[in-house]
Amino acid sequence: MPEDELSRSSHSNPGKSLVNGIKTNPASNSPKSSLSVPMGPPVYVDLAYIPNHCSGKNTDPEFFKRVRASYYVVSGNDAANGEPSRAVLDALLEGKAQWGENLQVTLIPTHDTEVTREWYQQTHEKQQELNIMVLASSSTVVMQDESFPACKIEF
C-alpha cells in the first residue's frame, strides 16, 4: 500500500474499530468496555418492540433508561427459553423509575403467558406508581385456518 493511502486510512479511523456499529477502542483491556455504548440523552419513541422476544439475553434496565417509549411490545411465548423474561419485565420497572418524569407507558403483551400474569399481579402497585398500564385484549384475528389474539393500537 502506498504511504499516502496508508496515512489516509489510519487517519480516518485512528486506532478504532466498529462493533455492532459502535466505535470502540481495541486497546481497551476490558471486553465489556469495548461493547459499551457511550452515554447520551435518552431516545423517545412512540412504539418499541422489546428485542429478542423479551429474552433476558440482551435487554436490561439500561435499555429502558435509554429507549423511552409510550408503548412497549412484548412478544415472547416460549417458557422453555425464558421468553418472556421476568427479569426484562422487572427491568422495565427499574428503568422507568429513573426517568425523572411520569410519562404514561403501555406494555402490550402479544401472548397471555404465566410469566406475564404473575409479574402483573405481583408488581401491580409499582406499575400504578410508575404510570405503566398493561394492555390486555380479548380481540382475536382469524385468518383462514388460524386464529390468534391481537391488540389494536391507535395514535
Residue type, 125: E
User: Between 127 and 37, where is the model more confident?
Assistant: 127
pLDDT value at 110 more than 50? yes
Say how many CA atoms lie within 13 Å of 66 toward its Cβ: 11
C-alpha grid cell for residue 68?
Answer: 423511552
Q: What is the pLDDT of residue 31?
A: 41
Q: What is the mean pLDDT of residues 65-92?
A: 84
pLDDT value at 62 more than 70? yes
Cβ atoms 17, 26 nearer than 8 A: yes
Q: What is the mean pLDDT of the chain?
A: 74
Model confidence at 127, in pLDDT bands (50, 70, 90)?
Answer: very high
Q: What is the pLDDT of residue 116?
A: 87
